[in-house]
Amino acid sequence: MQTFRQPPADPAFVQDPYPAYEAMRALGSIVMWEEYGMAAAVSHDAVQAILRSRDFARLPPAGHEAATPWDSLPAFRRLEEASMLSNEAPRHPVLRRSVVTAFTNARVQAMAEQIEALCHRLIDGFPDGPFDLIAAYCTPIPVTVIAEMLGEPVSLAPRLLDWSHAMVRLYTQAPGAEDSAAAERASAEFAAHLEASLAAKAARADGDLAQALKAEAEAGRLSADEVLGTCVLLLNAGHEATVHSIGNAVKLLLAEADAASLAGPEAVAASAEEALRLDPPLHLFTRYAQVATEVAGERFAPGQQVACLLGAANRDPAVFPDPAAFRPGRASKALTSFGAGVHFCLGAPLARLELQIALRVLFARCPGLALAEPPVFAPTYHFRGLGRLMVTQGTA
**pLDDT per position as a tens digit, 154-175:** 898 889 989 988 998 887 767 7
Going from N- to C-terminal start, the domains of the chain cover: 3-392
Q: What per-residue confidence (pLDDT) applies to 332? A: 62
pLDDT digits 0-9 by tens, 367-386: 999 999 999 999 888 889 99
**Amino acid (1-letter code) at residue 92:** H
Considering the entire predicted model, what is its pTM? Answer: 0.92
Contact 311, 283 (CB under 8 A): yes
Nearest to 109 by CA among 372, 356, 364, 370: 356
Nearest to 153 by CA among 193, 123, 188, 98: 193
Q: What per-residue confidence (pLDDT) applies to 395? A: 65
Q: The domain at 3-392 falls in which architecture? A: Orthogonal Bundle (1.10)
Nearest to 300 by CA among 285, 288, 313: 288
Residues of the chain with pLDDT under 50: none
Q: What per-residue confidence (pLDDT) applies to 104? A: 81
Q: What per-residue confidence (pLDDT) applies to 316? A: 96
Nearest to 278 by CA among 259, 257, 250: 250
Cβ neighbours of residue 104 under 8 Å, at least 6 residues apart?
A: 349
Q: How far apart are CA 253 and CA 370, in angstroms?
A: 10
Q: What per-residue confidence (pLDDT) applies to 200? A: 92
Torsion of CA 260, 261, 266, 270, to 10 degrees: -80
Alpha helices per DSSP H over 86-223: 91-100, 105-109, 112-124, 133, 140-149, 157-168, 177-199, 209-218
